């Protein structure tokens, strides 16, 4: 069976996958929610949801530093990764030995397509369709925000790094009812002066990958007293699997802060 992944590469499977290794937290959670608990044979150390999965499935390193020997011991018949989150050289090494299917997520449409494709390749088509339909319906109900407040979304501290254009987070910022002030692509570094000059109405401090805390909120409140600085759950902004079902409800609470 031939499957085309989101990088337009062919993934060839001889049969239904029975030993799946997932290299991305949001996709690991998706596989679990698709009912593939028995087939899921390896996850990364960052695949923390759900808790039962984290404590019962063998871990094969981090998303950027995979333990290739641990993966080889599992001998997977399917590996599922992501273009942005995994290291290219490691993926190229793995695909010489195992079937590898890669996602490439830049917007909500890509995420929904990924969910349906993973459902197809794992023979969980109906389950994937239900999750995808729920996500689509949930976001369709989100109100259209006029005069959306201008925001900066920080993913890292010292150096300060923000989510810019051509990222999945950028679309989620808009879905959450904000206007992203960052015009650069990807994740540019910013100085404190540059952030201040942009005069954000909201400064969104993500809980991941850098774990911002209340002390960071206090830091920015002193420097940007006119800006509303809040910590946001980065999983709802950057995880593009089944967790998206709950994202619109969470975004609604942010607009009330």
The residues near 107 (Cβ < 8 Å, ≥ 6 apart) are 168, 171
- CA pseudo-torsion sign 110, 12, 47, 70: negative
pLDDT given for residue 145 in this prediction? 74
146-183 residue pLDDT tens: 789 999 999 999 999 999 999 999 999 999 999 999 99
Query: Do you know the residue count of the chain?
Result: 257
Domain-embedded: residue 70: yes
Domain-embedded: residue 145: no
pLDDT at 195 over 70: yes
Domain at 18, CATH number: 3.40.50.1980
109-130 residue pLDDT tens: 999 999 999 999 999 999 999 9
Domain-embedded: residue 144: no
Residue where a domain stops, chosen among 108, 139, 170: 139
pLDDT at 134 over 70: yes
Q: What is the pTM of this model?
A: 0.95
Contact 63/23 with Cβ under 8 angstroms? yes
The CA distances from residue 156 to 162, 169, 255, in Å, are: 7, 14, 23
Co-location of 128 and 218 in the same domain: no
Mean pLDDT of the chain, nearest integer: 96
As a whole number of angstroms, the distance between CA 206 and CA 218 comes to 15
Co-location of 114 and 190 in the same domain: no
The range of the structural domain enclosing residue 105 comes to: 2-139
pLDDT given for residue 257 in this prediction? 66
Residue where a domain stops, chosen among 139, 168, 194: 139
């Amino acid at each position: 069976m031939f499957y085309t992944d989101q990088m337009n590469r062919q993934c060839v499977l001889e049969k239904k996958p029975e030993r799946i290794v997932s290299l991305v937290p949001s996709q690991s959670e998706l596989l679990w929610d698709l009912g593939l608990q028995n087939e899921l044979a390896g996850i990364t150390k960052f695949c923390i949801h759900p808790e039962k999965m984290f404590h019962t499935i063998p871990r094969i390193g981090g998303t950027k530093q995979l333990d290739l020997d641990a993966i080889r011991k599992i001998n997977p018949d399917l590996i599922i990764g992501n273009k942005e989150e995994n290291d290219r050289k490691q993926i190229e090494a793995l695909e010489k030995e195992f079937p590898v299917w890669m996602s490439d997520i830049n917007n909500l449409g890509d995420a929904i397509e990924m969910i349906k494709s993973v459902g197809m390749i794992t023979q969980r088509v109906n389950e994937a369709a239900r999750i995808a339909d729920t996500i689509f319906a949930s976001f369709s109900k989100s109100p259209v925000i006029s005069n959306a407040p201008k925001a900066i979304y920080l993913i890292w501290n010292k150096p300060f790094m923000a989510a810019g254009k051509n990222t999945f987070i950028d679309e989620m910022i808009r879905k959450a009812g904000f206007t992203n002030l960052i015009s650069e692509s990807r994740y540019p570094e910013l100085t404190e002066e540059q952030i201040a000059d942009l005069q954000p109405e909201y400064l969104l401090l993500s809980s991941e990958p850098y774990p911002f805390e209340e002390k960071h909120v206090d830091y920015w409140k002193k420097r940007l007293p006119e800006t509303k600085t809040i910590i946001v759950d980065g999983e709802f902004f950057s995880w593009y699997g089944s967790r998206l079902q709950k994202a619109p409800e969470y975004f609604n609470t942010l607009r009330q802060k």
